[in-house]
Structure 1
Amino acid sequence: MIGEQYHPFSKYFGVMAAKNAVVNLIILATFFSFLIYRRSNKGEMAPFSEQGKVGKIGIFSGLIFCLLMLVSYAISLNFVELEANIKVFVKPLILSLYIQAFAVCLATFLTFKNKGKLGQALLFAVTASIAVLYFWYYGFQVMQKANLVLRYLSVTQVSIVMSCLIMNAIIDIFMFRKAKLVGGIVWGKMPVRSQYALLLLCVVIVILMGLMGFIRSGLRMDWHIYGVLQDTSQWAYTPALSYMGRIVGLIVVLFLGLVAFVFWLANLGETKEKGVLKEEFELTEPHREHYT
């Protein structure tokens, strides 16, 4: 919506700071679930002191790479060409990068002390606190007072999250390198209730996306450009949320129905192909009397 940054409510919807915070939270949560998957069939792990030179070289290589990425960008932020009153908003970004660098070093130290899980948890906590919670709040402050700093804020978030992913992955690889296996990972076994939950989650998310798209545009009411150009015609009308809920629900039902129809068609083709293959196999299979 044109002029939305001046709207008393919707100016906070869809801004880059909120989007970046949510995206980084999704990335961290996805990576955390990946680590849980890697450990799902691992039992007692060997101490890191028994990993030998390979483990030490791998951890130190990851540490050096992460420190170069964080510290070099923090130093470069000191030389950005901005006005003095705007450059003040860059200092928290530099401090956040140094805090993350310290957290990476601390996680490495704990790993060498055979406390790799604690180091990973600490690094996850620091990363989420900075890249998700703090920058989510600080992004709104920057957006209002120093919009030019947002480009540096985004790169800082990416650098902090990437350092967490890289360092935690390397720690996890060497920490469980000689762990005992307690069994194989079996795919395809899901209880029925979990499948229903996934289908319900799909429906709810699609409906929510449709409604939030309407809510953001519906808040403009009868304004073409909020606070500047008002729609004074007799056709100026904004549908109620209940009405749009029914419309969006109908669209979701039609969409998921079409998806189900496509899967049904694909399954129908596979069924026919299996039937043809079965008939060909029966025709070409030698009869038992040939061997008697």
Structure 2
Amino acid sequence: KNEEERAHYDWVCYVAMFICIFGLIPLPFAGYWLMKEVYAFRQQMGITLMGGIMAWLFIIQAVMIGLLFFAANSYLHNGMARVKGSHRYMKYCKYMILLLICCFTMWMTPHTIVMTPAELKVMGGAQHPIVGHFGVMSAKNTAVNLMITTTILCFLLYQKANKKITVPWATVGNCWISAIFVGAAVNIIFLGVYGYFLPANVRVGLSVPQVTTTLTTLFAGTAINISMFKDSESYGDIQWGTQSKVGTYAIFLLAISFTWLMGLMGYIRSAVRLFWHVTEVVRDNSVDAYTLTIGEAGKMLSFNTLFVWTQFVVVFWVGSLTGKKVAEKAPDAVPVPAQQQQ
């Protein structure tokens, strides 16, 4: 309603955004770890998830994760507009968005999906002769690690947007950061391509050096970037409260996508048991032992997301009722004691 409140909530979104980014970066790694444990326990469960009746749910999951990365980068790009001196790095934003689009397309490409016999006949098999090559884990690991690396680069540029680096080794530091990111991209792509020439059981192990490369880029790049801020000069204060509408939409998209994705993965984790209470131990023989269709699952997840955010709105609204302070009106005149009036 006023500039002070807009500036305050803009700053709140800024803090929440960086918390989300640090929570987003390890999210794919945690997913790979979970699937590794699932395959180690029972391969059939992994096949059911990745190539069976739940394959389309994992495609939806890939789309949601892509939305998270797009929302995070969109917020950072639009947030640069309120930072003086950010014009130096705005020219790189379009290339980062292009790279995200390419990686996102590869990330959401399925390997095999459930199809009718007629569809199988038209395509010539369960795997597309061209697009199917982008559905294997070598391509997907490469895509998601490049998306994370791009987000890290965007974060570092946002960090130094309003700072004029004055340390003597500024040029060397920038060269080191550039070399780290270029080397990381080359290594991630090389390992992804190399994985196509290895058996599937060996190819899985390549995700470890790719993840190590990404994490090294995160920690080394951030450490060098922060070290360069010593005795730096500021181009000006951040203009809080001037966030664009696109940046505001991005922060809401990030929050909604996170909530929806949490519900989706919770449903997948539960539904992979199929008709078992405890997998292969206690069977569910009730009439309700069935798996929801994709449409039914989507409706339930959307309802749960709406219900959660409605609760948040109600809680904050109730809190605002007790938090409002009424300004006390100063008396028009100071009362004079009776002794002084005589």
Report the TM-score when normalising by structure 1: 0.51
Listed one character per residue, the Cα deviations across residues 149-193 of structure 1 (whole Å, up to 9, x for unaligned) are: 79xx75x66764454344323433455656654322222322334
Residue aligning to 1:169: 222
- Give the number of aligned pairs: 211
Distance 2:194 2:42 in 1: 19
RMSD: 4.9
Q: In structure 1, what residue type is equivalent to 2:333? A: H
CA contact (8 A) 1:221 1:237 kept: yes
Distance 1:130 1:188 in 2: 41
Distance 1:143 1:259 in 2: 45
Deviation at 1:235, TM superposition (A): 4.2
Percent of aligned positions that are identical: 28
Residue aligning to 2:183: 126
Q: Which has the larger radius of gyration?
A: 1
CA contact (8 A) 2:191 2:210 kept: no
Of 281, 284, 287, the residue aligned with 2:333 is 287
Deviation at 1:239, TM superposition (A): 1.7
Q: How does 1:102-251 map to 2 (within 5 A)?
A: 114=171, 116-128=173-185, 130=187, 134=191, 144=201, 160-173=213-226, 175=228, 177=230, 181-215=234-268, 217-218=270-271, 221-222=274-275, 234-251=287-304
Distance 2:191 2:281 in 1: 34
Residue aligning to 2:49: 10
Distance 2:192 2:276 in 1: 32
Task: Tell me: CA distance 1:247–1:232, structure 2 relative to 1, closer, same or farther (3 Å).
Answer: same
Listed one character per residue, the Cα deviations across residues 51-87 of structure 1 (whole Å, up to 9, x for unaligned) are: 2xxx5xxxxxxxxxxxxxxxxxxxxxxxxxxxxxxxx
Report the TM-score when normalising by structure 2: 0.45
**SS state of the match for residue 239, structure 2?**
coil
Unaligned runs of 5+ in 2: 1-37, 52-57, 62-136, 337-342
Residue aligning to 1:102: none
Distance 2:255 2:225 in 1: 32
CA contact (8 A) 2:184 2:217 kept: yes
Task: Tell me: CA distance 1:263–1:226, structure 2 relative to 1, closer, same or farther (3 Å).
Answer: closer
* 2:163 matches 1:42: yes
**SS state of the match for residue 239, structure 1?**
coil
Distance 1:42 1:129 in 2: 29
CA contact (8 A) 1:21 1:135 kept: yes
Of 248, 260, 268, the residue aligned with 2:321 is 268
Distance 1:143 1:230 in 2: 32
Unaligned runs of 5+ in 1: 56-110
* 2:141 matches 1:32: no
Distance 1:137 1:205 in 2: 33
Distance 1:187 1:132 in 2: 39
CA contact (8 A) 2:277 2:283 kept: yes
